Structures are given as C-alpha cells and as structure tokens.
Amino acid sequence: MIHHIPNVLSKEQVAEFRTLMHSANWVNGKVTAGTLSASVKNNQQLSEQDPLTHELSELVMKAIWNHPMFQAAALPHQMIPPLFNRYDVQESFGFHVDNSIRLIRGTQQQMRTDLSCTLFLSEPDEYDGGELVIEDTYGYHEVKLPAGDVVLYPATSLHEVSSITRGTRFASFFWVQSLIRDDSKRHLLFNLDESVRSLRMQHGDGYAEVVKLTNIYHNLMRMWSEL
C-alpha cells in the first residue's frame, strides 16, 4: 500500500535543509546503486561520509519516527539513516527495484528493506517532471508531494523518478524494516488501527468495541510480528 504522510518536516525545517544543501558537495548518485540500478541512475547525492548527511539524517529520523501515521503505517523495527539526492534538468532514475538487504550506515549490521520512503524537499511548482512513479497491481501511480511530506511504499515495487525538464528536485530517501514483513498484513493492521482510533474519538477509550478491537489488533501483532 502507498501512504502519503504529511507534514513530517515543517516549511521552516525544509527551508533550513535547502539552505544547507545549496552549498553542499554533491557526488554522482551511482555510488549507492546496485549493478542493474546504476545503468539507469542519473542524479546526484550527498556523500554518506559527509557530516551534513549525518546532521540532516538525524533530524529526519527524529521527525519521521515520532510521526503517528508513520508508526501506524510502517510499524517500524529499524531504519536505514536517510540519504539526500537532487535531480537537475535531464536527470532521472529509470525503473528499478531497491536492494532487498542493506547495511546500516556505520555498522556491519544488515537490514531487510520492507518499505521505501521519499521525503520531498522541493515544492511541486519548483520543477517539472521528477514524478516518483510506483508500479503496483493496479498500475502506475505518479507521486509529487509538497515539501516536507513523505511517501511510504513497499520496497518490492518497481519505481522510477521521471526526467526533470525544469528546475531542481531535492529529496531524502531511506528504507524501513517493519515488524510485519508482509505488506497485506501491514495494510490490515493499519485499517484496523484507523477504525479503533475513530471509535475512540467518538465513544472514548472505555467503549466495549474499542477494547475488543484493540485486543484483536495486539493479538494479530503477536501472531505476525518477527521480534
């Protein structure tokens, strides 16, 4: 399932990021691409070793980890520290699939990538093209969100960033290992959680159906989680 998570960063935070990124040292984006992905990847990114990458990553991780919709949709176990990229005119990243296993930066720990995330750092009217195109069983979905918003989608999806024809597209990207590996199970739990939240708002925490559905939610978590 594809989730739009709004307001992960405020407009003020985005402006700060952009000021710092404006004078940053950008490297060829192929440095973090796999063999097949590298053949269709034409963009720039901040080096993983750049202190600015570490500084901005920490801010993104804190913001996204504390976002209630992210917690409900991703059910995160651990996360790859975010990276940052830019696409200038005629740059793009053709259809590819993300690596299934990645090293967590600065460690020898491997992590399964269940979910891919893109945090938009440019407003949609700042550039033409540059849509994130995600393929699923229902076809192709073009995503171009306001700066500060995140799209969260299964890492199993084929996806691309279409060619830029005007302006520059800045973004952050990262991956999540979920407590629930299967996307369809995560989707069921998300919908159940949404229903419980709605009932709580209407009737309060002591409402009998809220208690019953909360019990079902946690028992499904016990059954399906990989901890």
Q: Can you read off the two tokens belonging to residue 82? A: 């975010």
User: In sequence order, what are the residues at sequence separation of 6 or more whose Cβ sits closer than 8 angstroms to the Cβ of residue 1?
Assistant: 73, 153, 154, 183, 186, 187, 190
Distance separating alpha carbons of residues 218 and 227, to the nearest angstrom: 14
Say whether 18 counts as a known binding-site residue: no
> Which of 171, 98, 180 lies closest to 130 in space, CA to CA?
171
Q: Is 96 annotated as a binding residue?
A: yes
Q: Are 132 and 118 in contact (CB under 8 A)?
A: yes
- Cβ partners under 8 Å of residue 64, min gap 6: 5, 8, 70, 79, 117, 119, 150
* Cα–Cα dist 93/73, whole Å: 26
187 annotated as a binding-site residue: no
Q: Tell me which DSSP letter residue 227 carries.
A: -
Residues at the binding site for 2-oxoglutarate are 169
Residues at the binding site for Fe cation are 96, 98, 159
Residues at the binding site are 96, 98, 159, 169
